[in-house]
Amino acid sequence: MGGSRMAVRREPVAGNIVSNSAAAVEFRNVTVRIGETRILDNLSFRVEPGETLVLLGRSGSGKTTALRLINGLLFPTSGVVLVDGRPTTDCNVIALRRGIGYVIQDVGLFPHFTIAQNVGLVPRLEGWPAEKIAGRTRELLQQVHLDPAKFENRRPRELSGGQRQRVGVARALAANPKLLLFDEPFGALDPVTRRELQDQFIELRESLRKTSVFVTHDVGEALRLATRIALLDRGKLEILAAPDEFLKCEGRETQAFLEVLNSGPQMNANERE
Amino acid sequence: MRQGLWNEILNQTAEHAVLVLIAITIALAIGIPLGILLTRQKSLRRWALGFANVMQTVPSLALFGFLIPITHIGKPTAIVALVLYALLPILRNTLTGILGVDAAVRESAIAMGMTGSQLLRHVELPLAAPVILAGVRVATVTTIGTATIAAAIGGGGLGVFIFRGIASVDTTEILAGAVPAALLALLSDGGLSWIEKRFSPA
């Protein structure tokens, strides 16, 4: 780990993918309708504990909507979304959200809080003792390679985009949730910083063993980060497969994305082993 | 200038200030909670804002005229009218301030599991504070001006001098009312601006 840029080895996250155990997240015949439009159409899939499921699709494909169903920011028109075996409509949605880390493209750090206060937010809501929060904050900032002494008392506006997103990730991890949701978290960053944060994501994933659902429209990013890729096309699931199989898929939308990969300047696919 | 005038000016200024203070306090007590409620209840928004808008559009003297048959001449009527006038800036700014909170910040806060009241206390009100204070400032300065008309219906205040001076064509008398009123307005504006700056996003 650390700074070396060796080819990323895509090992399966060992020991955590057991098909008999309860899925971390499950969609069963989920439809989300706004008026006449079906944003999601009879969507069914499972997210296994410990995996990184990437929801890939173009703008309007429904991937962000699907993500927001998981932490109860949205509820299905029909069908059910289960988190840890319980329907989202059936649990205390506040408790549900506190147990799920959420990282979005615009980060959404509170401008009137210091970095430390931002990171420690959920622990504070959960009533952790101040000492514990301070220690946890320092630990997390170090994990995302931000020197606590330097950054703790700064305000978000003093940080660069990449630094802010690192704080966003630290904040999502603060209360040690089992599940993390990412909505195009690196989309607003320059390619170099994006690459660095992807590396960091992989590094953290390897050491923390969390379940992640990651939304992106960048097929290179998907191939790099995913345990499995779920490709959404106009609210329907076209394919759900590990990257190797994804590359071989004949589906129309898959081909469209692979076309971009082959003709574009990014050579992310070559990093995949 | 006669000695008694100074004392009278001080008294009337104090009376004027008290009128404004009472009116603003009531307007805040109604306007801010109502504004907060309206951020949660979209359906009521148009009605409440429409009402406050109409109140502000009606010319002050006319408003006093409408109220007199109901609440009679004197301070209470003046205060009712002043409250109705001060309502719009406060209500509208509370609404705009809270709704204007960055969408990403609001979404993160909700996604992290903040309850509605935690959201209000830790995110919405602190971030909306500068805008709300600007509304309070505008309401205060306007009310100081409108309160001069209170004298016309027996409400007292600095308007007493102005109307007396107009009736007796006495410039000194007019200025005795106008100058303190203007000074009050400037001081309030300055003071509230200073508070506004201190509450601006740190």
pLDDT in tens, A225-262: 999 999 999 999 999 999 999 999 888 989 999 888 87
Q: How confident is the model at residue A10 (pLDDT cuts 50, 70, 90)?
A: very low
User: Nearest CA to CA, how far is B40 from chain A (Å)?
Assistant: 16
For the residues A100-106, what does the mean pLDDT come to?
Answer: 95
**ipTM of the prediction:** 0.84
Q: Which chain A residues are within 8 Å of B103, Cβ to Cβ?
A: 106
What is the predicted pLDDT for the residue at B201? 62
Confidence of residue A266 (pLDDT cuts 50, 70, 90): low
What is the separation of C-alpha A64 from the centre of its chain, rounded to a whole number of angstroms?
A: 11
Looking at the predicted structure, is the pLDDT value of residue A74 above 90?
A: yes
- Mutation site for A-interface testing, chosen from B101, B102, B108, B123 by largest number of A Cβ within 10 Å: B108
Indicate the pLDDT class of residue A12, thresholds 50, 70 and 90. very low
- From chain B, the residues in CB contact with A97 under 8 A are 110-113
Residue A21's pLDDT band, with cuts at 50, 70 and 90, is low
The reported pLDDT for the residue numbered B98 is 95
Q: Is the pLDDT of residue A192 over 50?
A: yes
A109 to B107: CB separation less than 8 angstroms, yes or no: no
Low-confidence ranges of chain B (pLDDT < 50): none
Radius of gyration for chain B, computed over Cα atoms and rounded to the nearest angstrom: 20
- pLDDT by residue (tens digit) across B109-153? 999 999 999 999 999 999 999 999 999 999 999 999 989 988 888
- CA distance to partner chain B, nearest, from residue A127 (Å): 13
Neighboring chain B residues of A165 at a CB cutoff of 8 Å: none
